[in-house]
């Protein structure tokens, strides 16, 4: 018994669709990464290494700041803003989304947040670190660059 031409065509389209879907799913995701170093104000030795990249869920961005050479016991507020350190703009995400960073005995601490925003592919961004969640004096800042 032969299969009618229309049914053979439908099977071929389904097979091609399934195969193409598998190939697309197997491709690595396009991955943009923004990086920057927050430098301590007024010659302070503290540094903060920042990475901002696409999250696993669609339209999410993960931001991680790793502080070092900081004051043990300090609690630092931090956030990413549009613009540069010299010309700051709006917050990237909600200010309450960024958890304070607790600096440990070794002068190190890490803060991570997943924002419900797509990773940007253009623009100017910077990370700002303040003295504490209540004291908004900027103690470190660093412009971000889009890594190729």
pTM of the model: 0.77
User: Number of folded domains in the chain?
Assistant: 1
**43 domain residue, yes or no:** yes
CB–CB of 73/109 below 8 Å?
Answer: no
**7 domain residue, yes or no:** no
**18 domain residue, yes or no:** no
Where in the sequence is the domain holding 43, given as residue range(s)? 33-147
Enter the tokens of residue 2.
């032969």
**27 domain residue, yes or no:** no
Q: Is the dihedral of CA 37, 135, 107, 78 positive or negative?
A: negative
CB–CB of 101/110 below 8 Å?
Answer: yes
**15 domain residue, yes or no:** no
Measured distance CA(18)–CA(12) in Å, rounded: 10
- Residue 43 maps to which CATH number? 2.60.40.200
Condensed to tens digits (0 to 9), the pLDDT of residues 117-136 reads 999 999 999 999 999 999 99
**142 domain residue, yes or no:** yes
Condensed to tens digits (0 to 9), the pLDDT of residues 42-96 reads 989 999 999 999 999 999 999 999 999 999 999 999 999 999 999 999 999 999 9
**20 domain residue, yes or no:** no
**137 domain residue, yes or no:** yes
């Amino acid at each position: 018994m032969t299969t009618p031409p229309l049914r053979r065509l439908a099977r071929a389209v389904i097979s091609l669709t399934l195969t193409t879907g598998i190939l697309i799913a197997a491709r690595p995701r396009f991955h943009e990464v923004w990086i920057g170093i927050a430098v301590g104000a007024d010659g302070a030795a503290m540094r903060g290494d920042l990475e901002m990249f696409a999250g696993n869920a669609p339209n999410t961005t993960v931001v991680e700041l790793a502080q070092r050479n900081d004051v043990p016991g300090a609690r630092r507020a931090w956030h990413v803003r549009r613009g540069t350190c010299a010309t700051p703009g709006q917050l990237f995400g909600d200010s309450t989304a960024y958890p304070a960073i607790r600096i440990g005995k070794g002068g190190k601490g890490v803060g991570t947040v997943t924002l419900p925003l797509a990773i940007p592919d253009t623009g100017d961004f910077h990370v700002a670190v303040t003295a504490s969640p209540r004291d908004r004096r900027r103690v470190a800042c660093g412009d971000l660059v889009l890594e190729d």
